[in-house]
Amino acid sequence: MSNNGINANGINTNGSLCLMTGNANPELAKKIAEHIGVELFDTFVGRFNNGETQVMIGNSIRGRDIFIIQPTSQPVNDNLMDLLIMADACKRASAHSITAVVPYYAYARQDRKTRGREPISAKLVANLMVAAGMTRVITVDLHAGQIQGFFDIPVDHLKAAPVLADYFKTQTFGDELVVVSPDLGGVTRARELADYLKAPIAIIEKRRPRPGEAEVMSIIGDVNGKIALMIDDIVDTAGSLCEGAKALKRLGAKKVIAACTHAVLSKNAVEKVNNSVIEQLVVTDTIPLPPEKQSDKITVLSMAGAIGDVILNIMSHRSVSLLFK
């Protein structure tokens, strides 16, 4: 970036934009920096001998607008703590503003009490981020949209649907496509993608006998002879996804593909996907996909352009919501 604040794309960033990254997803951070046309700021995030987080910022950031790119993916608590300590370092170095760019927001599934004596961890994480000095949060496809209300600072909630839709529009589905929600809670997400793709929707009704397990009860909608595209925000153990795909095939779907924003893929999830009737799983890079989690069935799309555009609009005081349309 030049001294007058004009980036490589000729966009005025006011000379104060500063992109930093922790260790959670440096590849995504590099892509965002390239999209914006700036370099990542000189920042070191490591460990002291006793395991505590060490943060060193190479140059003055006094009066700068800081964007810390750090999804809170596995190892969740380490990445979350790194983010909080980076924010504290920036606050104490007199940064003008501190935006946490958290493409994947951990603990989002703990957004309410479902039984006695349970925590609401999503709210606790929001409190910690504000206490650490965050002045804004950018995130992608929160598991529960109401988590935005847990913050007393602005939250820009991006959707992956436009990025996924752009990819699927390049495929030849004709009028055979049906977008499928894997549960009743994901209907809004399915409808959003279906609107982009001008396709009908179907809904899988399931119950969870135990945490991490799902049992398909019925399917609402017509999938017979269709190409079924299941859409969800998170693929964790992949149990729900694979069971849903099996049910869709049983009811006559001629092909099943899936799309998820956040590829957690814990335990033997990749093996489940590889052995399932799912022909393709499309995910985004909100969470990095290490070599052991890569598969010929898995396609990764980048959210870097969408996140980069939001950062540029924030810096130039333009509407962010217009980007979502």
Residues 195 and 155 in one domain: no
232 within domain boundaries: yes
Q: How many CB atoms lie within 10 A of CB 100?
A: 27
Tell me the chain's radius of gyration from C-alpha atoms.
Answer: 21
Q: Is 179 inside a domain boundary?
A: yes
Question: In this structure, are 173 and 265 located in the same domain?
Answer: yes
Contact 187, 213 (CB under 8 A): no
In a domain, 269, yes or no: yes
Please check whether residues 46 and 75 belong to one and the same domain.
yes
Residue 1 covered by a domain: no
**C-alpha–C-alpha distance, residues 9 and 35, integer Å:** 9
Rounded Cα gap, residues 150 and 154, in angstroms: 11
Whether residue 90 is found in the same domain as residue 224: no
Same domain? For 99 and 202 the reply is no
CA nearest 178: which of 190, 167, 186?
190
Whether residue 310 sits in one domain with residue 296? no
- Give the total number of structural domains in the chain: 2
Is residue 147 domain-resident?
A: yes
pLDDT under 70 in the chain at which residues? 1-14, 207-217, 325
Same-domain status, 142 and 253: no
Residue 2 belongs to some domain of the structure:
no
* 115/227 same-domain check: no
Same domain assignment for residues 94 and 120: yes
| φ, ψ at 40 (rounded to 5°) | -65, 140
Model pLDDT, residue 63: 97
- Per annotation, catalytic residue among 91, 113, 159, 206: 206
pLDDT tens for 84-122 read 999 999 999 999 999 999 999 999 999 999 899 999 999
pTM equals 0.93
Retrieve residue 191's tokens: 């409808």
For this structure, is 325 an active site residue? no
CB 138 within 8 A of CB 101: yes
Show the 3-state SS of the chain. Answer: CCCCCECCCCCECCCCEEEEECCCCHHHHHHHHHHHCCCCCCEEEEECCCCCEEEEECCCCCCCEEEEECCCCCCHHHHHHHHHHHHHHHHHCCCCEEEEEECCCCCCCCCCCCCCCCCCHHHHHHHHHHHHCCCEEEEECCCCHHHHHHCCCCEEEECCHHHHHHHHCCCCCCCCEEEEECCHHHHHHHHHHHHHHCCCEEEEEEECCCCCCCEEEEEECCCCCCEEEEEEEEECCCHHHHHHHHHHHHCCCCEEEEEEEEECCCCCHHHHHHCCCEEEEEEECCCCCCHHHCCCCEEEECCHHHHHHHHHHHHCCCCCHHHHC
Whole-number pLDDT of residue 185: 87
Whether 90 maps to a domain, the answer reads yes
CATH number at residue 89: 3.40.50.2020
**Domain around 239:** 161-301
**Same domain, yes or no: 74 and 148:** yes
pLDDT at 35: 97
Judge whether 233 lies within some domain.
yes
Both 101 and 206 in one domain: the answer is no
| 73 and 185, same domain (yes or no) | no
